Amino acid sequence: MPSPSKQSASHVEDMGIMEGRYEELGGCTVGFETFREHADGTPLFRGLPDAPPGHVPVVETGTEVVEFSPTGEYEKTMEVVAGNIAALQS
């Protein structure tokens, strides 16, 4: 079975406060995320189902995360996050 790594991930997103490197592997998206600044994801996760209060990512500068998500659910989540980012920027 192939082993994705931060260095080999094929999709890279630089979002300023964080860099994400992602690879899809057998129906699962593996993400390697590095945060350059403190981040509170509360406003980005508004409107997601099954996210009770307090269940949001709050990370400190220098945090590195390895995340495993079913690809379909990850894509749905990122659609909501993208909509929330657009709303915050307008």
* 8 contacts: CB under 8 Å, gap ≥ 6: 23
Domain membership flag for residue 80:
yes
Number of domains in the chain: 1
Cα 90 from Cα 84, distance rounded (Å): 10
The secondary element (H helix, E strand) that includes residue 66 is strand 64-70
Residue-range definition of the domain harbouring residue 16? 11-89
Structure letter (DSSP) for residue 3:
-
Tell me the pLDDT of the chain (90 aa) as tens digits: 678 899 999 999 998 999 999 999 999 999 999 999 999 988 888 888 877 666 778 999 999 999 999 999 999 999 999 999 999 998
**pTM for this structure?**
0.84
Torsion of CA 46, 51, 53, 57, to 10 degrees: -80
Domain membership flag for residue 4:
no
Domain membership flag for residue 2:
no
Domain membership flag for residue 5:
no
